Amino acid sequence: MKKQILTATALFFAVSLSAQKQPKLLTFQDLLSAPTAKAPKPENTDKTLGVTLWSDNFSTPTNWVLDNSGQTGIDFGWNINSTEESWYFTSGIASTGGGNYAELVNGSASASPATQALGVTYTMTTAAPIDIVALGGSNQVSIEFQQYGARFNDLQEVQISTNGTTWTTVSNNLNESVLSSAGGAAYANPTNKTINLAPILSTNPAPIWIRFSWTTNYPSQATNANVWITYGWFIDNVKISTNSTNDLSVTSDFVGSAGLFYTQIPTTQTAPIDFEVDLFNGGVNTQTNVQYNINVNGGAFTGSSPSTAIVSLDTMTLTVATPFTPAALGAYTVVHSITADSTDDIPTNNVVGNTAFSVTNYIYARDNGTAAGSTSNGTDGFEVGNLFDIVAPQTLKAVDVRLLGGANGTVVGTEVFVKIYSIDANGDFVFESESDPVIVVAGDLNTNRTFVLSMPVNMVVGTYLAVCGAYSQGLKVVNAGTTDPQTSFLLDLFDNTWYYQTAIPYVRLNFSPTIGLDENSANLNSMIYPNPADGILNIKLQSETQTAVSVSIIDNTGKEVLSSNTDFNGMETMSLNIEDLSAGIYSVRLASETGVVTKKFVKK
C-alpha cells in the first residue's frame, strides 16, 4: 500500500539524510541554459461551478492594493496593465477576458549585473472584502482564476483572510514543474486554477479578502541572489463561484510496487503492483457507491476498490482490492476509471491517465525513455541516479545510462563512471561497487551506454541506489519523467551532500547475463571506497592468481604523493591513510604484471 510504504520511507531517510528534504537550489547557470518557455497546449480545466458570485478582470486597478515591499518601478513587484513587463516572456497572459491583467516581476536576471531585489515579499490584495453570504453564497464556494508564468525558486501563493490581518494560504504553484536546464515548462497559457474554499470557511463565512503573494521558496538562503530570480507570474479573471452538486476529483494517484513505479521490470523482479487514488468530494452532495477500477490490456486483468460513500468535503483513499502481478514478457497498458451512483458535474477532474510499462528480460528502469532536459552541477562534480527495489536476490554486473548530446550536452573527453550503493539500517548510502572511468566519446552521447561494474554486486532483497557521476564539470545525464521526492538523488561532490530531485535520471540496472568480467583470471579487478574519502581510503583487489601490485596515489599535477605494495591471491582489501593529503582530486594507480588500472577519488 502506498501510504504505508511512503511513510516508512520518510522515516527511513529522516535519520541520516536530512539534507535531502529539499531539492538542490537552482543556480543562475541552470536558468541561462533553460529551454525556451514554450507553453503546453492549453487544457480545458474550467469547472462548471454554477453561479458566479463575484468576479474581477483587473479593468479597474484600484480594486486591488499592491504592496511591493518598498520597491519602485515597473520592473519590481505587482503591476496591473495590458503590457508584458518581464525580462523572460515576450507576451502576457492569453486570458479569455483580454485587456488588463496583473503581472509579478522582480528585476531582470539577464541584465549585467542582474537586478533582482532580495528580501522581498510582493502581495496583491482585494481592496475591499467580499461578502459571500450577502451575495447569496455559503462556505460551498471556490476561487477561480487564470494564470501564466513559470517557476524557478519561487513561492507563488494564494491566500485569504477574514479580518485583513491574518492570512491563510489556500493554494500555491509548487505542484508545477521547475523550468531549468533539467527540463520543465512554462504553465499553459492560460492555466485555469480552482481552489475549493468549503473545507476552510465556516458555514456562514465572514467577508473575505483574496491575496496573491510572491517571495522565495528558500528563505533560509535569502542572501543568495539566485533564490530571488523569477521568470514572472500573470493573473487574470479572478472570481468566486458556488460549488457543484456532484464533484469528485482525484487529488493524487499511485501505481507501483514497494512504493516505486517502474517503466521496465525484469522478469526476476516482478512483484504485485498496487493501484490507489485519493478522491476529494468537492460537491455539495454525498457521493455513493464510489469505486476505483482498473483494466489491464483490454480485460486480461480487471480490479476494483470496495464500494464506498464519500461525504461532502471529505477525502478518501481507494485501493484496488487485488494487486496485479505481471507474468509474461511484453507491454502492459492500464486503463483507470472512477464510477459512482451520481453523474459527476465536472468529469475532467477525476480522470487518471493510462499507465504503461513493460516486463523485460534484463532491464530495470524508472525513467519513461523520453528525454526532457538533463542533470548537471555547474562547475562541480556530482553523482545522480535512482533508487531501485530488489524483490529477489540477483547479481548485477552493469548499469545503463543516457548522456545528453548536442551543443549543451556532455562534453566529449569528460571522465564518467557509475556506482552502486546499498542502504543500511540507519538510512545511509553504503558503497558497493563502481565501474572503471570511461572517457566520453561522441558515440556515447544520446544513446544507451552500458557501464560494466568493476566487481559484480550480489544484490539481496532491499533498496539500492544506482548513479552516474563525474569528478569535474562536463557531465549531463538525461532526465526522462518525474517522480516523488526522495526517490532520485544527487550527490554534490563539492559539499559532499545528498539532495533529492524530482526529475528521473536515465540510469537503469542491466541484469543481462552476457555482460561480465574478462574471464582471464590473471586480470586485476579493483574498486576504491569511500569516495569522497577523508581519513582512510579502502582499495578492494580481486585476482584468481598470485599477484604483486604496486599502489600509487598521484595528485592533479602528476606527482606521486603516496605509495604502497601488496602481494595477494583472491580478494583483499587494503587501507591507506590519506589524512595528511590536501583536499582535491587524486588518482590511484594500480600496477601489476597484467597491466595498469587508474581510478580517481576525491579527498575531502
DSSP states of 275-326 as a string? EEEEEEE-SSSPEEEEEEEEEETTTTEEEEPPPEEE-TT-EEEEE-SS-B--
Q: Residues 24-60: pLDDT tens digits? A: 666 666 665 555 554 444 333 344 457 999 999 999 9
Measure the CA–CA gap between 35 and 598, rounded to whole angstroms: 37
- Give the pLDDT of residue 516: 64
Report which DSSP code applies to 493.
T
**Which pLDDT does position 78 carry in this prediction?**
98
pLDDT score, position 448: 95
Phi-psi region of 70 (alpha: psi -120 to 50; beta: other; left: phi over 0): left
Distance CA 105, CA 95 (A): 18
243: Cα within 13 Å, side-chain hemisphere: 22
Percent of the chain with pLDDT over 90: 68
Enter the C-alpha cell of residue 94: 492569453
Cell output for 334: 492500464
What distance in Å separates the CA atoms of residue 537 and residue 577, rounded to the nearest whole number? 7
Domains for the chain: give ranges and CATH numbers. Answer: 9-16+373-510 (2.60.120), 49-242 (2.60.120.200), 248-360 (2.60.40.10), 525-603 (2.60.40.1930)
C-alpha cell recorded at residue 401: 545510462
Please give the Cα distance from 138 to 506 (Å, whole number): 50
Report residue 386's pLDDT band, with 50, 70 and 90 as the boundaries. Answer: very high
Q: What is the pLDDT of residue 43?
A: 39
Per-residue pLDDT, 194: 92
Nearest to 530 by CA among 495, 488, 581, 496: 496
| Cα 202 to Cα 137: distance, rounded to the nearest angstrom | 12
pLDDT at 520 over 60: no
Residue 429 has pLDDT above 80, yes or no: yes
Lowest mean pLDDT among 14-23, 173-182, 351-360: 14-23
Q: What is the mean pLDDT of residues 212-225?
A: 94
Q: Average pLDDT in the 458-479 region? A: 95
Closest C-alpha among 279, 283, 337 to residue 308: 279
What is the predicted pLDDT for the residue at 593?
75
Task: For residues 220 and 198, give the distance between their C-alpha atoms in angstroms, rounded to a whole number.
Answer: 33
Model pLDDT for residues 96-129, shown as the tens digit of each residue = 878 999 999 999 999 999 999 999 999 999 999 9
* Residue 14, pLDDT above cutoff 80: no
Structure-derived torsion over alpha carbons of residues 16, 19, 21, 26, reported in degrees to the nearest 10 = -160
Whole-Å CA distances, 34 to 167, 183, 307, 408, 471: 34, 7, 46, 10, 23
* Residue 30 pLDDT: 66
- Any idea of the CA torsion for 277, 282, 284, 286, to the nearest 10 degrees? 10
Q: State yes or no: pLDDT of 178 exceeds 50.
A: yes
User: 264-266 and 209-216: which strand pairing?
Assistant: unpaired
For residue 245, the one-letter residue type is T
Mean pLDDT of 231-254: 95
Which of the residue ranges 378-382, 388-392, 395-399, 450-454 would you say has the lowest mean pLDDT? 378-382
